[in-house]
Structure formats: C-alpha cells, structure tokens
C-alpha cells in the first residue's frame, strides 16, 4: 500500500472508532505509520483526509445495493436484500457518520454521505415500483415512501443492536419488516 492509502485507511478506522472530533492528524499518522512530511505532502489536513476516507468507505458500502437488481421477482429481490447478514453491533459505517456532530456540520463531508444514501434509496424506489407494477405489493404503496421505510429499518436496526450490544434486535427488525411485506403481498392477492 502507498503512504496515501495507508493514511486513508487509518483515517477511516479512526473515524469509525473515535469519531471525527476525537481524531487528530497526529493519531492518523501514528496509526498509518507515516511521517509528517509524507502526510502533508498528500493531504492538507484532517478535513481532506476525511473526505477521501469517507469516499472509500462509501464505495465499499454502496456495492451491495446492487443486490436489489438481478435474479428474481422485485419482491424476492427486496426480501433478499433485507435478509443480507448485517453485523448490527458494529453499526453502519455510512449511517454512523450522520450522528457525528462534526461530520453533519461539514458541508463537504455530509454531501458525500447524502449522495450515498440517494444512490441506495434510488435503487430501493425503483425495485418497489417494479413490485407494485407486477402486482406483488398493493397500489396503495408509494415507492418513494416505502424505500425510506425499509432503508430506515436497516439503519434503525443498527441503532437498536448497538444499544443492546446484541445482534438480536437487528434480526428481529428485519423479520418484522419481512412479515409486513408478506402481509401486504397477501392483501393484493385478496383483491384479485
């Protein structure tokens, strides 16, 4: 790995472990094993480091949203994506950033986070619209709303799992969402 990659990786770890405010450029250099000359050759400071680290984390996280496309009916794909293993107590590396007071008030950092959520919500919305179109979900479901509901179940599942220090609440939140989707699906069948 290059010094630049080592610094970015160290910043991503420290953002995650300690948050933005509690991470100093000195901490990042120590974690990366990179000296001050190299650090300030690559980055003007903590802000620029955070921009690059956050972008890298988000690139990894948004990859899995592609599971909303591919094989299976729209409702099957929605359920498959909801059912992905998610280590709840670790939390979501992207969602966490919205709870970091220094990240939310930094226009550039929060824009990176917002745009990652927009990509993910766009995929959700499209897949839900397909499910309604295919008669798998009732026409009363608004795709833009349900996209945010289901994304919120995942993000909130992390919050509940971290509050308890257990995986259970995340899995339960997902099971409950799947059972509501199944019930909504059977409401369509009933209308037919």
Taking every pair of Cα atoms in the chain, the longest distance, rounded to a whole number of angstroms, is 70
- How near is the Cβ of 35 to a second copy at its closest, in Å? 26
Dihedral, 42, 47, 48, 49 alpha carbons, nearest 10? 60
Nearer Cβ to a second copy (4/171): 171
How many chain residues interact with a second copy (CB under 8 A)? 63
**Can residue 18 be called a binding residue for a second copy (CB under 8 A)?**
yes
**Can residue 126 be called a binding residue for a second copy (CB under 8 A)?**
no
Q: Which tokens in the block code for residue 17?
A: 């472990």
> Length of the chain, please?
192
Nearer Cβ to a second copy (3/178): 178
CA distance 87 to 89: 6
CA distance 125 to 137: 13
**Can residue 148 be called a binding residue for a second copy (CB under 8 A)?**
yes
How many Cβ atoms are within 10 Å of 46's Cβ, its own excluded?
A: 18
**Can residue 31 be called a binding residue for a second copy (CB under 8 A)?**
no
- Tell me which residues touch a second copy (CB under 8 A): 16-19, 21-22, 91, 95-96, 98-102, 104, 110, 113-114, 117, 121, 137-138, 140-142, 144-157, 159-160, 162-165, 169, 172-177, 179-184, 186-187, 189-191
């Amino acid at each position: 790995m290059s010094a630049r990659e080592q610094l970015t990786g160290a910043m991503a770890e420290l953002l995650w472990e300690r948050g933005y405010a509690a991470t100093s450029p000195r901490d990042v250099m120590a974690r990366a094993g990179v000296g001050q000359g190299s650090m300030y050759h690559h980055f003007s400071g903590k802000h620029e480091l955070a921009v690059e680290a956050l972008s890298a984390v988000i690139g990894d996280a948004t990859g899995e949203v592609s599971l909303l496309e591919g094989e299976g009916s729209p409702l099957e794909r929605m359920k498959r994506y909801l059912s992905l293993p998610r280590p709840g107590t670790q939390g979501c590396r992207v969602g966490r950033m919205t709870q970091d007071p220094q990240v939310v008030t930094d226009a550039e950092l929060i824009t990176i986070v917002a745009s990652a959520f927009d990509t993910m919500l766009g995929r959700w919305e499209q897949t839900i619209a397909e499910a309604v179109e295919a008669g798998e979900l009732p026409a009363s479901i608004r795709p833009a709303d349900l996209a945010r509901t289901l994304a919120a179940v995942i993000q909130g599942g992390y919050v509940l799992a971290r509050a308890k220090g257990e995986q259970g609440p995340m899995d339960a939140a997902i099971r409950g969402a799947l059972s509501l989707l199944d019930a909504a699906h059977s409401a369509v069948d009933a209308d037919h």
